[in-house]
Every structure is written in C-alpha cells, then in structure tokens.
Amino acid sequence: MRQLKTSLWVVTVGSILITLIIYHLYKAPYSTSVLPHHTTTKFNKDLHQVADKQQPVPMNHMPLDELYKFENESDYSMEEDNTNPHMLWTPGCKIPLMMVSYKKRERKVKPDVCGKRLVFLTRIDSSNIRVLIKDDFLKKNTSYKNHECCLRFYMKGDDEIEDSDEYSSCNKCENGDTFMLQSDFVNVQCFGYDSQNESHVIYDDVYAFCKKKKSQKKRKCETRFNILMIGMDSMSLPRFAQTMTETLNFMKSNFWLSYRGYHKVDDNTFPNLMAILTGLKFQIFSDKCLGQMDPCNDLLLWTTFNSLGYVTAYGEDYVSLPDTFSKNYTLTIKPTDHYMKPLFKMAEKTKNCDGTPYLCSGKVTSGQQLLDYAYDFAMTYRDDPFFGLFWMNSFSHNPSNHPEDVDKIYENFLNRLFYTGVLKNTFVIFFSDHGVRFGKDRLNVEGYYDDRMPLLFILPPTLFKSRYPEKYKSMIVNQFRLVTPYDVYKTMFDIYKLSDCRPKTTTEYVTKKFNNHESLFNIVPGNRTCQDVLIEEKWCSCHKLYPLAEHDPNGLKVVHFVMDHIQNKTDTIVTKPCTSCMKTSLESVERIHFYYDDEKVNVYYVISIKMTPGEMVYEAKVLRRGLEMELVGSINIISGYKGLGSCTVSNNYKDRIFCVCHNDC
C-alpha cells in the first residue's frame, strides 16, 4: 500500500512538471519578460525574430480620474506630469519642483542637553502625581552632606493679568510621595545644607500636567470630533522632508495626508496663523484687533469650539519671540482653558551644548515640554471633546536651528498618541506658517519657492473615514490642489458643524463671509488661482521663474527702480537723537528672474540685490507694463537682519530692515 502511494505521488508530481514545461515552451516566444541568464544564444535569436514579427500591443493608459470619477467634477485628476516634475500641477497653478538642499546634521543629540533630570513626576490618575527622586545621584552631584527637596505649584487665577506670578507654599517631598494637582505647572527645588546649616539650591526643575477642568454638561451628540493642531515655525515641506525623516516615515506608514499645494497667504507667522484661526484676511483682522487683542479672542476658533463645550488649550514655546501674540496683539488674559505661556515665561533659558544653543525649560528642552503637555492634554480629555493648538518655535524658527534634533521627539510623540485610542475621533493637523524667510538657504531662487510652501499633514480620525467616505475622498484629492490656511479654517469650521447638535443658525452667515474659502471635505477646483484664494501676487508662486543675465538691460532698469525705492525709504526713517540711517548703495546683483502674467502681456521681475554698508540682501517683485514699472507688495529682506535699525524711533520691522544705524555724536 505504501509503495502504491509513493508511485501515485511520483506520477502526480511528474505530470505537473511536464505540464509546466509544455506551457512554458508554448508561451515563452510571446512573453515580454526578461529571460533568465541560462537561456541559450540560439533561443535568444529565435525569440527576437518572433518578437520582431509580433510586437505586443501596449496597455491603454487610463488616468485615475477615468477609473475613479467623481460626479460633477470635470477637472479631478491626481496624475503627475513625470516628464516635467512639479510641486503642483493643475490648470490654475503650476509650481515647479525647486527644492533648497537642506543639510541634515548626521549626529545623535546628547540626551541631557538641558541638564540631568533627577526628580521625576508621574501621573497616577487625573488628579494626582507621584514623586520619584534619585537620591544617590543627587548626593554624587553635590558637595553637601544633607539635602532635601520641596514641591510647589504655579498659582494664578484665570482672570488675572498675564504678568502676575504666584506660587503655592513649597511642600517637602520625598521619594514615593504623592500630591494632588493644584495647577498645571509644578516646580521642584532641592537644597543642600552647609556646615552653617545655610541652604543652597542644588536642583531646580519644572513640569507640566493638565489639571482636569470640571466637565461641562455633555450634549447628546452622536459624534463629536476633536482637533489637535501641532505647528512648527518656518518649516517648508522640503525642509521637513529632508531633516525630519523619521517623523515623515512614520506619517507615510500610517497614511497621513500630505498637501503639496499648501501655500502661505502672507509674509510672516502671525498673518498666516490668524488666517487659520479666524478665516480673515490680515488687514480685516488688524482693523478689528490692533491694540485690543483680548476682545478679539472671540474671533479665534478655540473660542468657537469652547461654545460647544470643548476644552481648549494653547501652547507656544520660545515666548521671547515677537512673532505671534505680542506687541500690538498681546493677550493679557488667559485665552484658553489650558495655557502654557506662564510655564515658559517662568522657566525658559538658553543653554549651549557642543556649540549648539538649545532652549530649555527645566531639565528638558522647551520643545519636549510642549509635546509632553500636548500628549497629556489629549490623554486627560480623551473622553471629552477638545481643541488644542501647540506651536513650536525653538527647533526651527532660526536658520541656525536643526529640526533634525527634534525629529525623534516628534516621532515618539506621534507613536505614543497612536496607541492611546484618541485618534478614533481626533483630527491631528501638523502644519507650518511658511518656509525659511531669511538666511543662506533663502538667498538662491529655490528659496523663493521654499518660503511660500509650508507643510500641511492631516490624519483624519478612523471614525470620520468610515462615516464620511466621500468627504475623506475629497481630502485625498485635495493633496494635489492649491490650498491655503483659509481652507484649513473652513475645514475646521465644518468639523465644528459636524460636532454641533444645535440648530445651524450661523451656516448662511459663514458661507457669505468666507466665499473664497473651500473646505477640504469638498473637492477644490483644479483651475483655482492665487487670485481666487486671496493670495496676493507678491506671495504667489504658481509660475516658473526664468533667469536673466545680471547685465540684461531690462533687468538692470528694474534693479535701479528697486534700489531707488530702498534709498528713498531710508531717507524717510525717523531715528533717535544723535543717530541716523547710513546711505546705502548697490554692491551686487544676486539674481534676476521673470515670468509673464496669465495673458502673456505683462511681465513680472523677481530680483535679489545686495546693498552696502551692512551686506543686506533684499528681494523685490516688480510688474512691468510697457515702459511703466510698479512695485508689487513690499520689498523684503532675505539675509539676516539682527541688529539692523536699533536706532529707529518706531522700532517697526518695516523701517528697521532699511536702516544701518550710524552714531552722529
């Protein structure tokens, strides 16, 4: 019986092998695949003769918009023009793929750049924390025989002015002690005692937790989507892709949506951030809010969501920067339920490690504090609706910063968030305001595009994708469309409407007010132009720049036109007593480019010139109609400008960049 089974098995296997050989011999002459290396020369020759007689018919290429066509959408396409790569290629906007080459520093960041943390606070539950003190390390790091530690909370009422500081009493703490949270921010100090029993601070650290607010009465909504916004200053999409590879790879592997047509709408941080938070053009916002920012808090999205019972949070590191809510737009009253500014005002200090400056808050970087707090906020309110915005400046604002140093911190933050269950009903938006605006990476023509193309990544919640598949499809398509901060605002307002159980009394008003905005839940038209979406020509990058020789006659006329504007501006600046702005002259023409308007009638020139003294490099855009020239927008400085204009009376940025101060007394 065993021999019979063996015989049957041999016959079966043999039959299969013979069948495969016959099939291969009949099919091989018509195959277009590469043959293995052991094929004979004669057979190769015969094969080519047969192939010459009977060429295979190529497959018909079907565009994606034919395979997956949307109703009532004639210009839907996700096809890329591989023969001429572009960052964006639509009928209304063609942005060439011209990337600044960012050099990533290939080294590991030391773990203790801000000092070694020896006292750890961990959350036990929503209200309590536990203390862990490494006493042995404390003893090794001090010459004092005896030491003790105490813990205090930063205390301030919600309605108190921003500049007031107050702490609870400092309660003695030992390893294993537990404390009930009294506020969001904790300070731990340890003291050593000398032979005279006088105390000396040997350890000082700060910590941030979200002390849970009393839950507002929950509305009976089927679904309420959360929003967690994580921002990085001065991060273009190319800069992010080249320097933060671990974070990018995590996003790719988890199917984040990347918007390569995301375009800034104004020059610097505040106007672009206000476009996202209010949906308003900056001139309109400024007319309402200049010098009175506190009443304007009602215009911001976090207040809108708070009206639905959402818990809100806002955090921003590097608080000494004058970029966001500062100067004429200072918030003096706490704008959200949780607000990080008091922590950073109390603790931020710059420390140097291996020649690199790091902004520290306690024994960790300010960026780490920010993301840890964002994570704690999401975890604390995972069962409640929330809106949080956390903005990081410290690792990317300056050209000398190294975003790669925070890459692993971001990847860890997103990875931890992934396993919490929060993402089931939370939109995570990772975004920036603009690219690099000044410094060596801005000087070349690639920097012109980089400045205008901030990053935007969105991870829609799993519940949203399953419940609203058409909206999710639109979000996918819009990755390849021209989109703006106004559209992100409109999208978040749509999230607000999806989460609102009340009668929709404001929908009509919003539609009229923001008719230039388009929610990413709807397909953005492919023929959209900068003009359609309120991007001024000064900032528009939907064109290819063509170079001109630096001695081109027409180009030189534009150079002199711009130079005259700079010199005239310098002459009008009012300075402090015994000072003046020095006369400047042209040192060199850095570059001249041009492009035509849509009608191919008028020409725009984009020039970059270096002026002396001061070695300032300026960039300007000029419209030429026949023999007439017109400055488009303002002239902006693209070299470093630290120290310029310190003698001006107004201390206005737009004056300072044109003034090299001279002491006349």
CATH number at residue 343: 3.40.720.10
Q: What is the reported pLDDT for 642?
A: 76
Question: What is the C-alpha separation between 266 and 533, in angstroms, rounded?
Answer: 12
Q: Are residues 306 and 390 in the same domain?
A: yes
Does residue 88 belong to any structural domain of this protein?
A: no
> Residue 527: how many CB atoms within 10 A of its CB?
13
Pairing assessment for the beta strands 338-339 and 311-316 based on DSSP bridges: parallel
Question: What is the C-alpha separation between 223 and 498, in angstroms, rounded?
Answer: 8
Question: What is the C-alpha separation between 211 and 159, in angstroms, rounded?
Answer: 17
Question: What is the C-alpha separation between 386 and 502, in angstroms, rounded?
Answer: 18
Does residue 539 belong to any structural domain of this protein?
A: no
Q: What are the residues whose beta carbons fall under 8 Å from the beta carbon of 256, sequence distance 6 or more?
A: 430, 457, 458, 459
For 642, the 3-state DSSP assignment is: coil
Residue 643: left (phi > 0), alpha (psi -120 to 50), or beta? Answer: left
Taking a C-beta distance cutoff of 8 angstroms, is the pair 547, 98 a contact? no
Q: Are residues 339 and 470 in the same domain?
A: yes
**Contacts for 213-219 with beta carbons within 8 Å, 24 or more apart?**
213/311, 213/337, 215/384, 216/309, 216/311, 217/309, 218/309, 218/384, 219/308, 219/309, 219/501
What are the structure tokens assigned to 91, written together?
Answer: 């009928």
Q: Are residues 244 and 391 in the same domain?
A: yes
Longest CA–CA span in the chain (Å) reads: 117
Q: Are residues 578 and 605 in the same domain?
A: yes
Q: Are residues 200 and 238 in the same domain?
A: no
Does residue 96 belong to any structural domain of this protein?
A: no
Amino acid identity of residue 271, one-letter, is: P
The per-residue pLDDT for range 164-183, each reduced to its tens digit, is: 568 899 999 999 999 999 99
Question: What is the C-alpha separation between 428 and 72, in angstroms, rounded?
Answer: 30
What are the structure tokens assigned to 523, written together?
Answer: 């397909």
Q: Which helix (H) or strand (E) holds 208?
A: strand 199-208
Q: What is the reported pLDDT for 218?
A: 62
Q: What is the reported pLDDT for 365?
A: 95
Question: Is residue 547 reached through a cis peptide bond, with omega within 30 degrees of 0 on the bond before it?
Answer: no
What are the structure tokens assigned to 205, written together?
Answer: 């650290």
Question: What is the C-alpha separation between 81 and 61, in angstroms, rounded?
Answer: 14
CA end-to-end span of the chain: 117
Q: Are residues 185 and 276 in the same domain?
A: no
| Beta bridge partners of residue 154, listed in sequence order | 167
Question: What is the C-alpha separation between 448 and 98, in angstroms, rounded?
Answer: 9
Residue with tokens 């572009």: 86
Does residue 298 belong to any structural domain of this protein?
A: yes
Q: What is the reported pLDDT for 17?
A: 52
Does residue 84 belong to any structural domain of this protein?
A: no
Question: What is the C-alpha separation between 247 and 261, in angstroms, rounded?
Answer: 20
Nearest C-alpha neighbor of 455 from the set 135, 638, 234, 169: 234
Taking a C-beta distance cutoff of 8 angstroms, is the pair 312, 289 a contact? no
Domain boundary at 180, 208, 236, which?
208
| Beta bridge partners of residue 623, listed in sequence order | 604, 630
Low-confidence spans in the chain with pLDDT less than 50: 4, 8, 11, 13, 20-82, 507-509, 511-512
* CA dist list (Å): 112 to 47, 205, 376, 556, 604: 67, 13, 22, 53, 51
Question: What is the C-alpha separation between 100 and 555, in angstroms, rounded?
Answer: 24
Residue with tokens 């916002």: 285
DSSP characters for 130-149? EEEE-HHHHHHT-S-SEEEE
Q: Are residues 498 and 572 in the same domain?
A: no
Number of H helices, E strands in the chain: 21, 26
* CA dist list (Å): 151 to 148, 360, 372, 392: 11, 20, 20, 27
Pairing assessment for the beta strands 199-208 and 171-173 based on DSSP bridges: unpaired
The range of the structural domain enclosing residue 623 comes to 546-663
| Beta bridge partners of residue 94, listed in sequence order | 89
Question: What is the C-alpha separation between 429 and 563, in angstroms, rounded?
Answer: 42
Taking a C-beta distance cutoff of 8 angstroms, is the pair 279, 489 a contact? yes
Q: Are residues 236 and 338 in the same domain?
A: yes
Does residue 524 belong to any structural domain of this protein?
A: yes
Residue with tokens 């042995």: 136
The alpha helices in 352-433, defined as continuous H runs, are 366-380, 407-418
Q: Are residues 488 and 520 in the same domain?
A: yes
Q: Are residues 571 and 506 in the same domain?
A: no
Q: Look up the pTM and report it.
A: 0.85
Domain boundary at 509, 533, 557, which?
533
- 160: CATH: 2.60.40
Q: Are residues 352 and 497 in the same domain?
A: yes
Q: What is the reported pLDDT for 323?
A: 78
- 580: CATH: 3.10.450
Does residue 102 belong to any structural domain of this protein?
A: no
The per-residue pLDDT for range 452-506, each reduced to its tens digit, is: 999 999 999 999 999 999 999 999 999 999 999 999 999 999 999 998 876 655 5
Q: Are residues 550 and 529 in the same domain?
A: no
Instruction: Give the side-chain half-sphere CA count within 13 A for 436.
Output: 28
> What's the structural domain count of the chain?
4
Which sign does the torsion angle of CA 105, 259, 394, 271 carry? positive
Question: What is the C-alpha separation between 465 and 467, in angstroms, rounded?
Answer: 6
Taking a C-beta distance cutoff of 8 angstroms, is the pair 611, 592 a contact? no
DSSP characters for 78-89? ----TTS-EEEE
Q: What is the reported pLDDT for 171?
A: 94
Does residue 262 belong to any structural domain of this protein?
A: yes
Q: What are the residues whose beta carbons fall under 8 Å from the beta carbon of 185, sequence distance 6 or more?
A: 153, 154, 206, 207, 208, 342, 343, 346
